[in-house]
Structures are given as structure tokens and as C-alpha cells.
């Protein structure tokens, strides 16, 4: 899985934007793996996310080959993907938390160390809500489209939701910003289009209530 020259990529897609800083306290990866989605509301969210991803994968009809899970976190969703997925995360602690059972790579989604069209499909789950600008989201989506020759499932936070309204109200009354960003569906779909992708299906965890929304998309035939 050879890496393409970053200068050639920049010329093709435009300059790569600076990444949002990623800082986690010691022990975060292990706590995320063992506690975050195993009890209470986390367990309910996990069940809804698995159901949404399963529904989209049933419609994906990917070509044969490996899938990419990036960022994989502690590997919670990897087993749902077809074939023998490759796990990628830029946090070395998260990569270690995945365990040794699958191919793992420590790398940034902005500059993936894989050749064009390496993967049959890709999952990018629970990342884009942490990305504050559309420019950076499009940069990430373009890189996913570059290394993938088939369907891509991505998640984002939908601004048209009670959960997002609650977040805005808490912020107005002095709550510290969460570091999460929500966008409207039309805006996010426009970002997908700018990255050379077209929407095939959408699965919201709880439409108009929860922010988390998964989208099945695929490379546009005219993207090149």
C-alpha cells in the first residue's frame, strides 16, 4: 500500500489545510474502549449506531476487497465492515487499544499512506463533528475519496436537531464549548459534492432529536 507524493496530491486537490489539534489526557484510549459505549446512554447510542451502519452497508453493494476504518478509535465498528478491514487512527494510543487482530496503521486522515483506489469501501465515523470548518471537512472527504474505489460511509452532526439546540442554549448560558460542530444537511451534502462524492442514502439515529447522522455516499462518475 504505497503512499502518493503529497505535493502531487496538493496540486490535484488544492493545498492541504492545517489539522485541528488532537490532544487527549493519559489513559483516554483505554477508558474510551472499556466504558464509553458499554453502559447507560452510551450502550443505547452504540446499538443505534450499529443498526444505522448495518442498514447502510446492506445498500452499499461494494466491490470485492478490503475496507478502511478511519479514524478507527478503539475499533468498535470495525467488525461490522466487510472483508478484513484496515484500521487507521492518528492517535497511537487508540491504535494500540484496537488490539493485534487486524492490520493497523497510525496516520492522519488528511494524508493517508495508501495509493489511489486501494480500498473497496471506507468508514469515517465520529470524526467530522470534531472538525470546525467546511474547508477541513472537504479536505478529509477528498482524501477518503482518493483512496476508495467504492462506497464511503461518513457521519456528521445534523444542526436540525433538539440535541444541537440544547447545545446552543447551554453555550449561551455559559457552558464551555464542547468542541463539536454541527451543520445542516444541505451544507454537508454540498461539502460531499465538493469532495467528488454523491449521496446514496442517509440514516439518522433519531431524526430531529439526536445530532448523529450517517451518510452512504459514492464517488461521482465525473469527479476526475
Comparing CA positions, the residue from 89, 219, 85, 203 lying closest to residue 142 is 219
CB 196 within 8 A of CB 223: yes
Residue 4 pLDDT exceeds 50 = no
Q: Give per-residue pLDDT as tens, 97-152.
A: 998 889 999 999 999 999 999 999 999 999 999 999 999 999 999 999 999 999 99
CB 207 within 8 A of CB 160: no
- Please state which of the ranges 2-6, 193-197, 199-203 shows the lowest mean pLDDT: 2-6
Question: Model's pTM, two decimal places?
Answer: 0.86
Confidence label for 34 from pLDDT (cuts 50, 70 and 90): confident
pLDDT at 171: 78
Q: What is the mean pLDDT of residues 41-68?
A: 95
Q: What angle in degrees, to the nearest 10, is found between the helix axes of 134-147 and 185-194?
A: 50
Q: What is the mean pLDDT of residues 159-187?
A: 84
- Please state which of the ranges 19-28, 133-142, 205-214 shows the lowest mean pLDDT: 19-28
Comparing CA positions, the residue from 67, 84, 73 lying closest to residue 123 is 67
∠ CA 175-176-179, nearest 5°, is: 125
The domain ranges of the chain are 6-13+40-219
∠ CA 88-68-146, nearest 5°, is: 100
Q: Which overall architecture, per CATH, does domain 6-13+40-219 show?
A: 3-Layer(aba) Sandwich (3.40)
Which residues share a beta bridge with 148?
Answer: 119
pLDDT at 12: 34
pLDDT at 223: 64
pLDDT at 190: 98
| Edge-to-edge order in the sheet of strand 86-89 | 104-106, 86-89, 67-69, 121-124, 152-157, 212-219, 197-204
Q: What is the mean pLDDT of the chain?
A: 87
Amino acid at each position: 500500500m504505497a503512499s502518493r507524493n503529497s505535493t502531487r496530491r496538493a496540486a490535484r486537490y488544492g493545498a492541504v489545510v492545517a489539522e485541528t489539534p488532537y490532544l487527549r489526557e493519559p489513559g483516554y484510549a483505554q477508558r474510551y474502549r472499556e466504558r464509553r459505549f458499554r453502559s447507560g446512554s452510551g450502550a443505547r447510542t452504540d446499538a443505534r449506531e450499529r443498526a444505522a451502519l448495518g442498514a447502510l452497508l446492506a445498500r452499499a453493494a461494494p466491490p470485492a476487497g478490503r475496507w478502511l476504518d478511519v479514524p478507527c478509535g478503539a475499533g468498535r465498528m470495525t467488525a461490522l465492515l466487510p472483508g478484513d478491514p484496515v484500521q487507521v487512527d492518528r492517535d497511537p494510543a487508540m491504535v494500540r487499544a484496537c488490539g493485534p487482530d487486524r492490520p493497523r496503521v497510525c496516520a492522519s486522515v488528511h494524508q493517508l499512506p495508501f495509493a489511489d483506489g486501494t480500498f473497496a469501501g471506507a468508514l469515517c465515523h465520529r470524526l467530522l463533528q470534531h472538525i470546525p470548518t467546511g474547508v477541513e471537512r472537504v479536505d478529509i472527504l477528498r482524501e477518503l475519496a482518493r483512496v476508495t474505489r467504492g462506497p464511503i460511509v461518513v457521519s456528521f452532526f445534523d444542526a436540525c436537531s433538539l440535541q444541537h439546540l440544547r447545545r446552543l442554549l447551554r453555550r449561551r448560558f455559559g457552558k464551555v464549548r464542547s468542541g463539536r460542530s454541527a451543520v445542516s444537511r444541505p451544507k454537508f451534502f454540498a461539502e460531499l459534492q465538493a469532495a467528488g462524492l454523491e449521496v446514496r442514502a442517509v440514516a439518522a439515529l433519531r431524526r430531529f432529536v439526536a445530532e448523529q447522522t450517517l451518510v452512504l455516499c459514492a464517488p461521482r462518475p465525473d469527479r476526475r
